[in-house]
Amino acid sequence: MSKAQIDQVFEKLKESGDKAFISYIMAGDGGLDGLKHQIKTLEAAGVDIIELGIPFSDPVADGPVIQQAGIRALDAGVSLRKILDELKKIKDDINVPIVLMTYINPVLNIGYQAFAEDARNSGVSGVILPDVPFEEEDEISTHLGDNDIALVRLVTLTSDEGRIRELCEGAEGFLYAVTVKGTTGGRTSFGEDTYELLRKIKGIADVPVCAGFGVSNREMAEALGDHCDGVIVGSKIVEMLHQGEAEGIKNLIPEKSSAVK
């Protein structure tokens, strides 16, 4: 895989008039030996891109459900290096782009260049680093770019238009629009400020815009999708996998026109 695979997913969806459905899961929650099965389950449900979380001891952007999933993975001895090794073993069986969501410390532990090379060899198409400011991304983004991996930037509700324009300039893969002022976790609704943010980013960005944080059902996904190019669902899917309710994941995904007979 490479960042071109992300572009191809969005191009195909645009042609059919559909929105991307991106699923977040915590790598190693339930053991790394189950990672391939989880990924194939998501593929079968209709997920377009998988955001693969890396367990970390101080996850500042994660809400309670994902924090607990990370603790379970850490307790099982899971690390970024082990996850990359597992992905390398199973990459030929994966048919959707994989985007890693990790904090910078595990990357620093491996080293920027070694991480980027290992990620490429493991079939990774993109990386999200929520604790790396835009002003400090150059060092890691250079190594990722050299290995054909997109660095996906986040835009928040508190970003003003000037900041949004900075983040949109040279953006790769897609822009991750954070829909709430806070951490991940299910919400019951979104305010007008969320939809206004999405419209504003869409009016500036040259890459797809996807909305995440707080999406917990199909109706919310559809409502957000009306204002952007895709949605990201995390906590709800992490919870369903942990509780053995994977069969219900497909009910979260808005029906695509290509699936209509």
Instruction: Annotate 196-235 with DSSP letters as a single string.
Output: HHHHHHHHH-SS-EEEESS--SHHHHHHHHTTSSEEEE-H
Please check whether residue 250 lies inside any domain of the structure. no
Residue at 160 is within a domain: yes
Which DSSP helix (H) or strand (E) runs through 74?
helix 64-75
Amino acid (one-letter) located at 55 = P
pTM for this one? 0.93
Query: Structurally, how many domains does the chain consist of?
Result: 1
Which residues lie across from 210 on neighbouring strands? 176, 230
Domain-embedded: residue 260: no
CATH assignment of the domain containing 67 = 3.20.20.70
Q: Is residue 39 part of a domain?
A: yes
* One pLDDT digit (tens) per residue for the chain, 261 residues: 789 999 999 999 999 999 999 999 999 999 999 999 999 999 999 999 999 999 998 877 777 899 999 999 999 999 999 999 999 999 999 999 999 999 999 999 999 999 999 999 999 999 999 999 999 999 999 999 999 999 999 998 888 999 999 999 999 999 999 986 544 444 555 778 888 889 999 999 999 999 988 788 999 899 999 999 999 999 999 999 999 999 999 999 999 875 543
51 is a catalytic site residue: yes
Give the Cβ contact number of residue 210 at 10 Å.
27
Choice among 48, 51, 118, 172 that is catalytic: 51
Question: Does the residue 79 lie in any domain?
Answer: yes
**Does residue 256 sit within a domain?**
no
Residue 57 domain-assigned (yes or no): yes
Is 60 inside a domain boundary? yes
58 included as an active-site residue:
no
N- to C-terminal Cα separation, the chain: 30
Expressed as residue numbers, the domain containing 185 is 3-245
